Amino acid sequence: MTIAPTRPTLPRHTASDRPSEAPGRGARGGRSVGSRFFLRFSAVILAGLASAGAAGCSTSAGTSAATPAPTFGDPMGWALDAAGPFHVGYRVASTSYVAPSGATRTIELHLWYPTLDEDGEHPNYESIIRDPLAISDASLAPSAYTGGRYPVHVFSHGHRGIPQSTPFLMRHFASHGWVVVAPRHVGNTLSDPPERAPSIYYLRGLDVTAAITALAKLPATDGLAGKLDTSRVFLSGHSFGTHTVWSSAGAPFDVAAIEARCKPAGTCTEADLAAFRAGVHDKRVIAGLAMAGSPLPDWLGEHPEANVTIPIFYMTGTDDDVGQASFWNRSAPFPLTWVDVEGACHQYYGIGKCPLIDDAKQVPIAGAFSLAFARKTLLRDTSANTADVLAGKKNDAAVATYKTR
């Protein structure tokens, strides 16, 4: 594995972050979901966000070493439904690994982290989404956590998505002192065709593993070197990224079904099938957050949860049918918490701009639940505030469904 700094010039594209699965798995009846979401996604970015506003992560200079900081108190006492005390830094790097095909696969790693900097250049994601609340290549703030280490959150973007597709959540965690890394799933981004090669179903999980490993092996010149807890990682995914969450969490691939489907068509190789048999379970992932997507039975079987032993939190929206009720029912008795937000569309957990719910509801609901779940599972947070949020005792009126078992 190699680690290299990069400042990529990325193509300007717009596309849907919506999986093109059958009804009950991301589609709505007979309507053309892909084209409808492509138009909505394009309109949101070009009209709303353009102006409004890593492993082995290091930019040309890397994240500089942490500078002295004021005392912010116990981070377990910080409000879950509001930004933390830090500003947010952002940088891009890349890492490489050998894929099952034998080819070298190089992926970008997008990194958000806490900073005390108040001014600087704001990132312009994909050259179309300006983020006025993040600062490019900012200095690193000291860790607020025990031992001076930073908790790690890995994010998997959706189908034909971008690593920066859920900026509110990346910033929320970074403002609370976390380091967030999002790999670019090459072959399944805005600049790629809509068809998914069979290999992308396992390459996404391998990208996650490569990102975690690279963070664990940062060069000594990087300010984060040796300060990231990569032995216990929180993994989240949006849309098709939820497939990444389940497979990295230990759900095995349904190899017999995959082979019967792709081998006659010549769309998968023996190397692909061997990769599917091996799976992509990464034991460093100890908790998962699945947003706006359900496991894909064609690839993971009807009961992917049967082999998953880590806790999973499941968040969806009433204005986005991804088969959530069906999955809740068929996955019993797997321990799961499901939150369905009233009026939330597919991009409520992404770039926002849903017609039925304001973006101002993203952090107080999705941000609060996500951070509470991550603090409990990774940081062993036993505070009453976190327990109350996860027990549904502080639900916003927009939470249409709250179920846990």
pLDDT of 238-270, one tens digit each? 999 999 999 999 999 999 999 999 988 899 999
Place of tokens 């996860």: 390
| Res 159 pLDDT > 90 | yes
Q: Write out 64-122 in H/E/C secondary structure.
A: CCCCCCCCCCCHHHCCCCCCCCCEEEEEEEEEEEECCCCCEEEEEEEEEEEECCCCCCC
- How does pLDDT run across 132-148, given as a tens digit for each residue? 999 999 999 999 998 99
The CATH code that applies to domain 2-7+54-404 is 3.40.50.1820
| Res 31 pLDDT > 60 | no
- Residue with the bigger pLDDT between 243 and 30: it is 243
Cβ atoms of 297 and 322 closer than 8 Å: no
Q: Tell me how far apart the alpha carbons of residues 137 and 237 are, in angstroms, rounded to a whole number.
A: 25
Give the pLDDT band (50/70/90) at residue 66: low
The first and second tokens of residue 24, run together, are 């009950």
Phi, psi of 32 (to 5 degrees): -80, 90
pLDDT at position 49: 41
Cβ atoms of 228 and 149 closer than 8 Å: yes
Residue 150's beta-bridge partner residues? 228
Q: Average pLDDT of 301-326?
A: 97
- How does pLDDT run across 81-97, given as a tens digit for each residue? 999 999 999 999 999 99
**Lowest pLDDT segment from 49-58, 177-186, 260-269, 320-329:** 49-58
Sequence-ordered list of residues with C-beta below 8 angstroms from that of 390, at least 6 positions apart, any chain: 337, 369, 372, 373, 376, 404
pLDDT at position 144: 95
Place of tokens 């973007």: 157
pLDDT at position 70: 62
- How does pLDDT run across 270-287, given as a tens digit for each residue? 999 999 999 999 999 999
Q: What is the pTM of this model?
A: 0.86
The first and second tokens of residue 76, run together, are 């377990």
Please report, rounded to a whole number, the percentage of residues in the chain having pLDDT higher than 90.
Answer: 79
- In terms of Cα–Cα distance, which of 87, 2, 14, 11 is closest to 47? 14
Sequence-ordered list of residues with C-beta below 8 angstroms from that of 18, at least 6 positions apart, any chain: 26, 33, 34, 37, 41, 158, 159, 239, 346
Return the domain boundaries, the chain. Answer: 2-7+54-404
pLDDT at position 23: 29
